[in-house]
Amino acid sequence: MKKEEVQAAIIEAVHQVKSTNPMAPSITNTVTINFVANTQIAVGGSAAMVYMPDEGKTMANIAQAMYINVGTIFPIYEETLPQTAAKLHELGKNWVVDPVAIGIGELRTKLLNDFKPYKPSIIRGNASEVIALAHLWHLLDHPSESKVRGVDSTESVDQATEAALALALYTGGAVSVSGKTDLVTDGHHIAHSHGGSSFMGKITGAGCSLGGVTAVYACVADPFIAALTACQVFNLAGSRAEAKVKAPGSFQPQFIDELYLASAEDIAHNSFDFVTL
């Protein structure tokens, strides 16, 4: 695959989403539900928020792809999350998992460990979360030194490359690592997407909403293209929004506007590096 082919696939994914308005339901962090839904809608998708086990399985049947975020955990999720993941795996549908705050709390750790046999199509997290998940699933030989601090990363994106490759090769899908420069890999290719804004770290839900938008593109594209398209539109919209505002409070609505306004060609040609391994 060449970079020009990747750009063409990104353009096709953006056009497909805007023309078909696919629904990508989410089981997501309650702190960020509104922002996740608004960003999904802004790029051309449709949002639905799920809580109960029967809802998760029903949505898995209906939707083309789903998003699961473990940022806030409720007791009912001990049933909802594994049942939904199992149904998605059974149906062969794309799904995105965000291992927010992995290692904090026994239930969260158990749920993330239980996801392993269901092989999420896309894993999206910060560097520390990606490293910690690879160790939880015993995909790396050396001991873990990763320390997750709440939702924040203590490692760089480059430090997570080995873990991202191991996870992608195990799942057969893609891994998206968020940072100053985002990394996306399917184990055979690596892309680094540039842009974004420092304000993204000063609002709640930039990462969660990226996961939700990734699921929207996963409705119409393969995991690698879906993950990269989401990073590309976020980095483009982030840099454009920052150029028009002075602080985080005004950045968030401007960012949503820029997601909505971004053209397929501009998204595809936002700066990114691409290599085949």
DSSP single-letter state for residue 75: T
**Amino acid at site 217:** Y
Can you say whether residue 21 is alpha, beta or left, with left for phi > 0 and alpha for psi between -120 and 50 degrees?
left
What is Dmax (Cα atoms) for the chain? 47
Q: How far apart are CA 231 and CA 61, in angstroms?
A: 27
Residue 49 annotated as lining a ligand binding site: yes
Kindly calculate the radius of gyration of the chain based on its CA atoms and give it in whole angstroms.
17
**Amino acid at site 277:** L
Tell me which residue of 11, 153, 165, 25 sits closest to 85, measured CA to CA: 25
Residue 71 annotated as lining a ligand binding site: no
**Amino acid at site 59:** M
Binding residues for ATP: 124, 178
Binding residues for substrate: 49, 205
Binding residues: 49, 124, 178, 205
